[in-house]
Amino acid sequence: MHGSSHLLNWILWMPFIGVLGNLLIPGSKKNAIRYWSLINTAITFILTLVLYKNFDTSVAGMQEAYNFSIPWIKQFNIFYTVGVDGISLPMIILTGLLFFLCILSSWTVEKSVKGYFSLFLFLQASVFGVFLSLDFFLFYVFWEVMLIPMFFLIGIWGGENKEYAAVKFFLYTFFGSILMLVGMVALYYAKGKGVDAFNILALSGGQFTDLKLSMFGSEFSFDKLFFVFMFIGFAIKVPVFPFHTWLPHAHVQAPTAVSVILAGVLLKMGTYGFLRIAYPIFPSASVYFADAIAWLGLVNVIYGAFCAMAQTDVKKLVAYSSVSHMGFVMLGLAAMTTQGMNGAVLQMFNHGTSTAMMFLLIGILYERSHHRYIVRPDGSKGFGGLYTQLPKFSIVFIIAMFASMGLPGLSGFISEALIFLGIYERYTTITVLALIGLLLGAAYLLWMFKRMFFGDVIEECKSYTDMNAREIAYMLPLCVAVIVFGIYPAPILNMMKASVGSLVKLLGTY
Amino acid sequence: MAMKYLVSLGHYVPELLACLTMFGLILVEAAQEKGAKSKPLVGATAFLGLIATFVILCLNLSKPGVSIFTNSIVIDSFGTFIKIIMVLGTLGAIYIANQSNDIYQGLKSEFSIMAVGVLVGGMLLTSANNMLLLYIGLETLSILSYVMASLKKNDERSGEAGLKYSLYGGISAGIMLFGMSHIFGVLGTINFSEMAPLLAEISGDKALILIPSFLLFFVGLGYKIACVPFHMWSPDVYEGSPLPVTTFFSIVPKLAGMAVIARLTMVLFNNSGIVSVSWLGALSVIAALTMTIGNISAIGQRSVKRMLAYSSIGHAGVMLLGIVVVSEIGLRSLLFYGFTYLFMTLVAFYIVSFVNDKYGNDHFERFSGLINKHPIMAISMIIVMFSLAGIPPLSGFVAKFNIFSAVIAKKYYVLALVAGINSVISLYYYMKIVRLMVFKTSESDELIGGLTLRNQIIIGALTVPVVTLGIFWEKVIGVVTSATLMIQ
């Protein structure tokens, strides 16, 4: 099934070309490295837009024109297969956009520039790999490869407790992946080792529903057992409640751009895994466990919000708000209705843009203040009166905050509304409780805003300068995205409609 | 009759060549001037002999299996592949020994002689088809190993290592002989292929004697591959021995032991008799314990060499999984694992050897900030550490993936899960070195001497297969798939 276009290959391998280029430029030429990386990500982003332009929104499955498959390891029937559908396309565009903007925001990185930008582009390639792979083995390889650049990016360029954060992140995710690996190989044998035994699409459709396996003398349902394995693998990445403890550390210690990518793109890989692998391959088990997923999502929403409220470090606050917002995605996924799923995918995109804004803004602030305390450990104010001191910064911050809060007219509202519409009929109690989470979200964000931006300008803040042209340049596209998709979300909804619809239809039969 | 033996000898060329190399080495060494600073001829002889052996082994790889010397030795492509790995491992260890200060200048040629001797024993062990030859091979391998462990004469710990090794070795060999004599008493034969049909039908009282006898038999082999609970000697011996010897120990004797366990299991226990069930049950428990205890013990180590020793116990456990499944695909994954493990071990120990020579010890702190001082070395070490932990797209991952698929094909999900969780544990301590090398700053700016361009190129070149075998492993899988173990 050779497609007519190599566009996906170009998107996937373009960042690798960037890495190779970076390695050829001598390390002392820092600006050359920065501009090369910027041009490289810009080209990649344009390629993703070309993909969007040529995308046929009426097709539910993979886009025929972009399917590309060549054999990799014949003995195991492993293929290099890439493809794109309505669920992965928003993620691909988001990845292209955020990495491009993050290169701009990383302009001020001075510590071994060559290593930083090379690892960053390497990370981009592996993220694209995850979103584009249709071969389970290939997917797994990219899923794991991504850990290596992340480990070094957090560990070398991070804050004071960076090592702990990097190690915890690595170990946690690796643990989840191992469960996934066992599930993957089990699927390979259950499918009979044939040419399509690693093909995600061929595995989909619920063919393992009635399969049983016996262990220790008792019988287990194949799909339920391995759904749980996959679930833990993906849930660690999302992160779903009991597996979330790596996230605050990783976020707080990571450099700004890496936090943006972590919250904006990497967390979505977890929920993308549900949509691409766990749900389609084990639909009956997904329906069976829907209640549990919904409750876990609710815990995420409420618990994340309460944790966020207690934070004195503004970056940690945003990190916990991510936990809370990813809870909404989980709720949408548990709904298994058209609105709910659409809302979940839309929320994945919208959370990507709004959280990216928050992290970028905190990064901008940190470059001026070199601390992130809302309240210092000794009880004094860390920031005060930023609104009068930094007007442009404050306006962008307000947009980001309201978008993340879900104010009507901005992007977060539509996706959350869709999720609530989708889930209401099935889980009324959970819906009502989750609404409290929404309220809490408004509370911690506004409270944080009040403490940092209002009141008298404290002495320290008087030396801060407002955003410069470069900073405005990378904030502007995100502001536009948040506002435009808040008023007119149709472009993204149209993109995914057909694909999400077919998934909901599949789940509906169980 | 004489003709038959001559034909047999024709199949036995690699072993004979290795023997010849050993004798050649002794003669060349004796011909050298006494007290000569360097003995280039000795090194050259060793390399020539081993490379010739390697070439002939490679040529033999595609030949069908035969049994020779009145069915006491089996030459098949499985054994040949293991021998190839062992020859390469010996070559690497001899090269490291020539570079390292850990082997006294005057004893470098002795190291080569004994290493080749151990190799000969290992080759015999790999293809033994009766208990007596198995025992002879094992002892050839062991006795020379004891001497190698105490090669650093003036160092107390090296002497201790040698003594410990020989005491443990002697006791376990005795226990093994005890088991063998019972097996012979019950079955009336020492030949494995003759034992196989008898074993399948055995039951009742005879089985009651045979099960413990085989477990006693296993003690000798389990000691050689250092699996739990016979692993106690290995960390001390690995730490006390000079570094090149440790490198050698973690490749050659280990793989020879694996090969013989694989052969025994495939030939004797490929049936559903009661003895087989017990053997496989015991083996799977031992495999799981070996992995877990090896990896958990590795976490707390201060010396990198000792850490690698414990981690090699962990790897032995994973390799055992390839045997537990008693299938072609299991053997294939074992061979692939051994092949990738060879390169990873060589690079890791080679790098530790430089650090050890520089600072006199190999504690973890010595690796701090290595990336700024010696980037090629540090990057190779990072790659190898991640590969040992099983992170894709490196060869260690592919090796583990193969073992996983062999285990899951038999539906042993619990074993697969145990192996997986062990990977996570091992990642933690492998990461410790990476962390120190990359995130910490070094204690001093002093460079490590002796790290010439040539050595850096060799490190880099040995790292290349670690990466490429993780991405383009189709060819190697093709080769190991065609390597079969002969069952008569």
pLDDT tens-digit map of A461-485: 888 888 888 999 999 999 999 999 9
Q: Which two tokens stand for residue A7?
A: 């566009």
pLDDT score of B118: 95
Contact assessment for residue B138 and residue B173, using Cβ atoms and an 8 Å cutoff: yes
Nearest CA to A282 out of A201, A200, A184, A208 is that of A208
Q: Using a CB-CB distance cutoff of 8 angstroms, which residues of chain B are in contact with residue A181? A: 401, 404, 420
Scan residues 379-418 of B and list those with Cβ closer than 8 Å to A. 386, 391-393, 397, 401, 404-405, 408-409, 411, 413-414, 416-417
Q: Using a CB-CB distance cutoff of 8 angstroms, which residues of chain A are in contact with residue B478? A: 75
SS3 content of chain A, % helix, strand, coil (to 5): 75, 5, 20
Report which residue type is found at B322: G
Cα atoms found within 13 Å of the Cα of residue A193, Cβ hemisphere only: 10
Range of the domain at B370: 2-482
Q: Using a CB-CB distance cutoff of 8 angstroms, which residues of chain B are in contact with residue A172? A: none
pLDDT score of B4: 77
**Would you call A75 an interface residue with chain B, using a CB distance cutoff of 8 Å?**
yes
Q: Are the Cβ atoms of A163 and B439 closer than 8 angstroms? A: yes
Chains A and B: how many Cβ contacts under 8 Å? Answer: 81
The full 3-state SS of A318-352, as one line of letters, equals HHHHHHHHHHHHHHHHHHCCHHHHHHHHHHHHHHH
In chain A, the residue whose alpha carbon lies closest to the alpha carbon of B435 is A163
To test the contact with chain A by mutation, choose from B415, B437, B471, B474 the residue with the greatest count of A C-beta atoms within 10 A, namely B474
Q: Tell me which H or E stretch contains B354.
A: helix B328-359
Task: Flag whether B327 is in a domain.
Answer: yes
Give per-residue burial for A426-455: e unless 16+ CB within 10 Å, then b.
Answer: bbeebbeebeebbebbbebbeebbebbbee
Task: For residue range B408-435, list pLDDT tens digits in order.
Answer: 998 888 899 999 999 999 999 999 999 9
Nearest CA to B244 out of B158, B321, B134, B185 is that of B158
pLDDT score of A1: 45
Q: What is the distance in angstroms between the Cα of B130 and the nearest Cα belonging to chain A?
A: 34
CA angle, residues A500, A501, A502, in degrees to nearest 5: 95
pLDDT score of B293: 93
Q: Which two tokens stand for residue B92?
A: 């690497």
* Domain extent listing, chain A: 289-510
Q: What is the distance in angstroms between the Cα of A178 and the nearest Cα belonging to chain B?
A: 6
To test the contact with chain A by mutation, choose from B394, B402, B408, B425 the residue with the greatest count of A C-beta atoms within 10 A, namely B408
Report which residue type is found at B452: T
Task: For residue range A290-343, list pLDDT tens digits in order.
Answer: 999 999 999 999 999 999 999 989 999 999 999 999 999 999 999 888 899 999
Scan residues 160-199 of A and list those with Cβ closer than 8 Å to B. 162-163, 166-167, 170-171, 174-175, 178-179, 181-182, 185-186, 188-189
Under DSSP, is residue A57 helix (H, G, I), strand (E, B) or coil?
coil
**Would you call A211 an interface residue with chain B, using a CB distance cutoff of 8 Å?**
no
Q: What is the distance in angstroms between the Cα of A429 and the nearest Cα belonging to chain B?
A: 37
The total of structural domains in chain B comes to 1
Give the integer Cα–Cα distance in Å for A290 and A271. 14
To test the contact with chain B by mutation, choose from A138, A174, A212, A229 the residue with the greatest count of B C-beta atoms within 10 A, namely A174
Nearest CA to B216 out of B250, B188, B176 is that of B176
Task: For residue range A335-368, list pLDDT tens digits in order.
Answer: 888 899 999 999 999 999 999 999 999 999 998 8
Give the integer Cα–Cα distance in Å for A357 and A352. 9
Residues 6+ apart with CB under 8 A from B102: B152, B242, B243, B244, B353, B356, B357
Give the integer Cα–Cα distance in Å for B267 and B219. 19
| Cβ neighbours, 10 Å, residue B40 | 10
- Peptide bond preceding A239 in cis form (omega within 30 of 0): yes
Give the integer Cα–Cα distance in Å for B409 and A197. 13
pLDDT means over runs of 10, chain B (488 residues): 78 92 90 73 90 93 86 91 95 90 82 93 92 92 91 87 91 93 91 88 85 91 88 88 92 93 91 88 93 92 90 93 91 93 93 86 84 88 93 91 92 90 93 89 75 86 91 87 81
Contact assessment for residue B331 and residue B262, using Cβ atoms and an 8 Å cutoff: yes
Q: What is the distance in angstroms between the Cα of A186 and the nearest Cα belonging to chain B?
A: 6
Q: What is the distance in angstroms between the Cα of A41 and the nearest Cα belonging to chain B?
A: 24
Give the integer Cα–Cα distance in Å for B100 and B97. 5
Q: Using a CB-CB distance cutoff of 8 angstroms, which residues of chain B are in contact with residue A171? A: 424, 427-428, 431
Q: Using a CB-CB distance cutoff of 8 angstroms, which residues of chain B are in contact with residue A189? A: 405, 408-409
Give the integer Cα–Cα distance in Å for A359 and B458. 45
To test the contact with chain B by mutation, choose from A78, A136, A142, A185 the residue with the greatest count of B C-beta atoms within 10 A, namely A185
pLDDT score of B154: 85
Contact assessment for residue B60 and residue B483, using Cβ atoms and an 8 Å cutoff: no
Task: Flag whether B217 is in a domain.
Answer: yes
Partner residue opposite B391 with nearest CB, options A74, A144, A179: A144
Under DSSP, is residue A218 helix (H, G, I), strand (E, B) or coil?
strand
Q: Are the Cβ atoms of B392 and A186 closer than 8 angstroms? A: no
Partner residue opposite A148 with nearest CB, options B386, B474, B481: B386
Q: What is the mean pLDDT of residues A110-130?
A: 92
Segment B182-191 long-range contacts (CB within 8 Å, at least 24 positions apart): B182/B209, B182/B210, B182/B212, B182/B213, B182/B216, B183/B131, B183/B210, B183/B213, B183/B214, B183/B217, B184/B131, B186/B210, B186/B213, B190/B130, B190/B131, B190/B132, B191/B71, B191/B72, B191/B129, B191/B130
Give the integer Cα–Cα distance in Å for B158 and A474. 63
Residues 6+ apart with CB under 8 A from A414: A343, A346, A350, A485, A486, A489
Contact assessment for residue B390 and residue B422, using Cβ atoms and an 8 Å cutoff: no
Gyration radius from chain A CA atoms: 22
Confidence category of residue A375, pLDDT binned at 50, 70, 90 = confident
Task: Flag whether B487 is in a domain.
Answer: no
* DSSP string across B266-289: HHHSSS-SHHHHHHHHHHHHHHHH
Q: Which two tokens stand for residue A103?
A: 């290169």
Q: What is the distance in angstroms between the Cα of B391 and the nearest Cα belonging to chain A?
A: 7
Confidence category of residue A3, pLDDT binned at 50, 70, 90 = low
Q: Are the Cβ atoms of A76 and B405 closer than 8 angstroms? A: yes
Task: Flag whether B208 is in a domain.
Answer: yes
Contact assessment for residue A311 and residue A317, using Cβ atoms and an 8 Å cutoff: yes
In chain B, the residue whose alpha carbon lies closest to the alpha carbon of A144 is B392
Q: What is the mean pLDDT of residues A397-404?
A: 92
Task: Flag whether B324 is in a domain.
Answer: yes
Q: Using a CB-CB distance cutoff of 8 angstroms, which residues of chain A are in contact with residue B397? A: 144
Q: Using a CB-CB distance cutoff of 8 angstroms, which residues of chain B are in contact with residue A184? A: none
Q: Indicate whether this model's pTM tops 0.90.
A: yes
| Cβ neighbours, 10 Å, residue B288 | 21
**Would you call A76 an interface residue with chain B, using a CB distance cutoff of 8 Å?**
yes
Give the integer Cα–Cα distance in Å for A332 and A496. 15
Q: Which two tokens stand for residue B428?
A: 């933690």
Q: Are the Cβ atoms of A145 and B397 closer than 8 angstroms? A: no
